Structure 1
């Protein structure tokens, strides 16, 4: 295919590199053959089993819409009616034929992009057709032991995992614990055959109503009483049976999602049963981790037991770095972090990151949103979780694509700017703390028509008119043709960013420092510094349409340009970066940062925020240190003198944020605050607590 934006893409490359060379004549570029790049993978990218999750670049794919390697399974099961049919290839709601073998067939395409982990939407056997459409997405499970026949067989999945592992690529399953397919009916609003009597909903009944005897009478239509596997899932007693959720209050946890049978995840038998289901999945297939759906709609007591049990089981099978991350659909760090702290999950999808990135790079809002994003990392830094394990993304199958957000917010900009904003936001994702997640098709410029099925286009040639009339970024192609083009400008930009990230561990592990933010300007700068190397990586972005100059205190007498705009100078202890419109710059200091001596810390009291208590600390001398290499650790000390670490913080302003429940559980009488530098020197102070008021008791 011919790209109309080969000129745009190469122009963007020159622009980003800060070169002053004249751009080539367009006719010369049009005649040039596209170049397929080969990435250089460090040795750790061959070792999928022991590789840290922070080393990975994820690709989130919906198998049904990716690639059809086996047309024989397009209509699903041959002998199970509940999992048959739905192959409606010209409807955005139907099954389109993509399968697990199709993901395997494109492993080289993904490896070439720099992908080291693949997360697939659910692939267990579904009820293929129910009220609300077709189960192309995989979220309507009836059998937790078999792969859905639309996507292939258990052996197909094992083949994919084996092939991926040989290439050093991890495989993650999308799993569901909140609900099963819509099978259970209620006598009060359904007829015996399962159809609705009147309105196509069952109004939610509250816990108070149920306690007074005002409840639904559940039943299972004839012939469907044994369709779920394992068998215990067929018993209505394990479900809440309170009618349809209206997405607020208790209904968000206890209600059915548009009829989907909502499990009672407070029930000890349900907790035990779901743990066993997914232990068995791990035992059979040996995946590398789970993404968990609808986490905030499940009772917290479930997560407190589920995540530790799953991680322990994986380790017992020789999977030391099995990783779990949850979907908590909220941009509020207080809500999100509740599941990494109280809920004991290692990580969640960072909807806060998505919101900040969209606001800054697509909606032209103040970069202060990014500064606040990183300051909010303190919510995650408790005794067993940390913010750099968060999963960063720009769009997904529910909310929509990054390309859609660009077109929706900036309707009048030209194609070159749309492409550049996509690349710029991806550069932010690849250089930020956390783990980058590419949504399938974004590397080919997909834009979509909004959220849900509007963002689930086919990578193979599509027959869906609503998809095929979309404008794709960076190309003349449409979704009416296959889109696996390694010469696409976004694909190639992501290759470059993947190589940058792989070549420089600091971009994967480094502590993030806010360096320059001004609410009146579209430019900002952060630093990433690894604790072992202690060399600054200075990363600056300009999300505006005019050149910006950023000046910050230097941590070295010299810097080298690694990527992006290379126009900068170091003079009199300052580094000045010139950023053309819609550009970024990645600089590396030539020498390590000089370690500053430990400083005096004061306890500035506490404040209550929703269900959290924030302990605030003040270090007056920090104002003169551009990148302070300190860690402040907080321990609770009870009346018997027993202590327990509850939080740590690597960046100013230094705080400790703990849940009210943990505070009540440990009942601290004082806090021990230890400041340590990155050379191993420490200094501790103890402060008394009286109704969250401070007072120094010892030094």
Structure 2
């Protein structure tokens, strides 16, 4: 009976979302995000939080206070960058990298206490938001607690133990040939699931670590709780264990587009993303920016210029789970390095960005065509009479989402060529109904975008 009630309530919510008579179009509004749950477990939006920069307090309490806003924004998952104490030896900057871990079973005192973290997680869960931890398993800080007692946990190179991998001078490489170290790592990962009830791990540099370890870790942690696993990497063989990975090469293609504005190449990369059969039953994370890109390559405005908004629309509609990095949703153009406190500037917020992100999270979470993985909606690119326009569809069953992007700095009028979307669509952002034909002339402003839903 409860299942039937939930199903009926879901239908009512979806009907309310779409129902609107033609004479009401001028006043058309979507229902608030607080009333929406994703149509499936594969319709989630993830939000990355750098605790030290997110709030004025720079701690768990500062984030917890903002959970109502994140709920309204339409966030389903909060990925917390590492919450552990940062190493002091060979530290970079005033605070050091959060990826230089001093103790896997402790909390950075700057962020708060065990009680503060448990309160954050409980409040997030009560709001329907999941908490994922960032887990750094490849390396530790030079002064990690293992260095004094278990130096054999660390790898050697050219007779030197320990050593820094990849020229990362503030960390040292662990040795995954050491079974005792692997067992201690899994024990630490289990601790946060058992004691703090977290819901997932984003695994840093996951493909640097043998796949066999991740098999062991997931097998053991599944005995405690079945959580979700995100791999930082794009090696499809790791999807034997992981649920999501980074669509890394696609992000590289987006950055290349930012330099060349070659729309034909962008379309080709979108098709390539869909043609990778290794991900038929698994998900990928799509992103314009994250902590690494922001820190080392500049903000999305540096990389994409005036096309930030249309590419934001693309990131939510082209494929799988979209990522929002803290401050991205308000259009903040600020580099936040990893080694110092560089707070997000929340005011004034750019309402164009803020409003669009709310609409896009709602779209992602309510359209079956935008699901990830097994139920991923198919992609169709529609040809037009203007090569500077990119029009594509995501379709699953009777649900279809049409996205139109003008990736130039001038207004463009265009028509479909050869084929058109079939049926009546609702203009998702402006309201009103639309039927398309080969004679229909559509206009998009410079760096503009439209979304239509059936």
Bucket of the pairwise TM-score, normalised by the shorter protein: 0.7 to 0.9
Segments of structure 1 that go 5 or more residues without pairing to the other structure are: 1-36, 46-50, 70-97, 184-226, 246-250, 316-321, 329-334, 411-417, 460-478, 590-699
* Change beyond 3 A, Cα 1:134–1:291: farther
* Change beyond 3 A, Cα 1:255–1:397: closer
* Change beyond 3 A, Cα 1:266–1:129: closer
* Change beyond 3 A, Cα 1:548–1:489: same
Quote the offset at 1:243 in angstroms: 6.9
Quote the offset at 1:576 in angstroms: 6.0
* Change beyond 3 A, Cα 1:242–1:575: farther
2:171 to 260, 267, 275: 260
Quote the offset at 1:284 in angstroms: 0.6
Do residues 491 (structure 1) and 388 (structure 2) align? no
Whole-Å Cα distance in 1 between the matches of residues 398 and 268 of structure 2?
22
What is the match of residue 17 of structure 2? none
The structure whose Rg is larger is 1
Segments of structure 2 that go 5 or more residues without pairing to the other structure are: 1-29
What is the match of residue 58 of structure 1? 46
Whole-Å Cα distance in 2 between the matches of residues 550 and 564 of structure 1?
20
What is the match of residue 109 of structure 1? 69
What is the match of residue 247 of structure 2? 350
1:398 to 292, 297, 310: 292
Do residues 443 (structure 1) and 329 (structure 2) align? yes
For the 8 Å contact 2:263–2:390, the answer to whether it is kept is: no
Whole-Å Cα distance in 2 between the matches of residues 440 and 575 of structure 1?
40
CA RMSD of aligned residues (A): 3.5
Do residues 169 (structure 1) and 143 (structure 2) align? no
2:198 to 283, 287, 299: 287
What is the match of residue 299 of structure 1? 210
For the 8 Å contact 1:356–1:370, the answer to whether it is kept is: no
* Change beyond 3 A, Cα 1:275–1:361: same
Whole-Å Cα distance in 1 between the matches of residues 377 and 180 of structure 2?
42
For the 8 Å contact 1:63–1:121, the answer to whether it is kept is: yes
Q: How does 1:172-251 map to 2 (within 5 A)?
A: 172-183=132-143, 228=145, 234-242=149-157
Quote the offset at 1:378 in angstroms: 4.0
* Change beyond 3 A, Cα 1:548–1:237: farther
* Change beyond 3 A, Cα 1:575–1:548: closer
What is the match of residue 144 of structure 1? 104
* Change beyond 3 A, Cα 1:142–1:517: farther
Quote the offset at 1:486 in angstroms: 5.9
Query: TM-score, normalization: structure 1?
Result: 0.54
Q: CA-to-partner distance for each residue in 1:393-447, whole Å, 9 max, x for gaps?
A: 111221227973433565xxxxxxx4xx322221111212211111111223222
SS at 1:144 equivalent: coil
For the 8 Å contact 1:129–1:135, the answer to whether it is kept is: no
SS at 1:162 equivalent: helix
SS at 2:428 equivalent: strand
Q: CA-to-partner distance for each residue in 1:582-621, whole Å, 9 max, x for gaps?
A: 12222234xxxxxxxxxxxxxxxxxxxxxxxxxxxxxxxx
Whole-Å Cα distance in 1 between the matches of residues 339 and 448 of structure 2?
30
What is the match of residue 100 of structure 1? 60
Quote the offset at 1:379 in angstroms: 3.4
SS at 1:266 equivalent: coil
Query: TM-score, normalization: structure 2?
Result: 0.80
Do residues 586 (structure 1) and 444 (structure 2) align? no
For the 8 Å contact 1:364–1:522, the answer to whether it is kept is: no
Whole-Å Cα distance in 2 between the matches of residues 578 and 399 of structure 1?
33
* Change beyond 3 A, Cα 1:440–1:513: same
What is the match of residue 9 of structure 2? none
What is the match of residue 318 of structure 2? 432
What is the match of residue 457 of structure 1? 342
Quote the offset at 1:565 in angstroms: 9.5
For the 8 Å contact 2:37–2:365, the answer to whether it is kept is: no
What is the match of residue 32 of structure 2? 39
For the 8 Å contact 2:90–2:142, the answer to whether it is kept is: yes
Q: How does 1:424-573 map to 2 (within 5 A)?
A: 424-449=310-335, 452-453=337-338, 457-459=342-344, 479=345, 483-484=346-347, 488-509=351-372, 510-516=376-382, 521-530=387-396, 533-546=397-410, 547-551=412-416, 553-563=419-429, 570-571=436-437
For the 8 Å contact 1:361–1:424, the answer to whether it is kept is: no
The worse-fitting range, judged by mean Cα deviation, of 170-179 and 559-568 is: 559-568
Q: How does 1:13-32 map to 2 (within 5 A)?
A: none
How many residues align? The count is 418
Whole-Å Cα distance in 2 between the matches of residues 513 and 38 of structure 1?
27
* Change beyond 3 A, Cα 1:380–1:136: farther
For the 8 Å contact 1:423–1:490, the answer to whether it is kept is: yes
For the 8 Å contact 1:182–1:260, the answer to whether it is kept is: yes
Do residues 154 (structure 1) and 51 (structure 2) align? no
Q: How does 1:113-124 map to 2 (within 5 A)?
A: 113-124=73-84
**Bigger strand share:** 1
What is the match of residue 85 of structure 2? 125
SS at 1:437 equivalent: strand
1:325 to 221, 230, 235: 230
Whole-Å Cα distance in 2 between the matches of residues 113 and 362 of structure 1?
30
* Change beyond 3 A, Cα 1:560–1:133: closer
SS at 1:164 equivalent: helix
For the 8 Å contact 2:270–2:318, the answer to whether it is kept is: no
For the 8 Å contact 2:87–2:101, the answer to whether it is kept is: yes
SS at 1:538 equivalent: strand
Looking at both structures, which has the greater relative contact order when contacts are Cα pairs under 8 Å and sequence separation is at least 6? Answer: 2
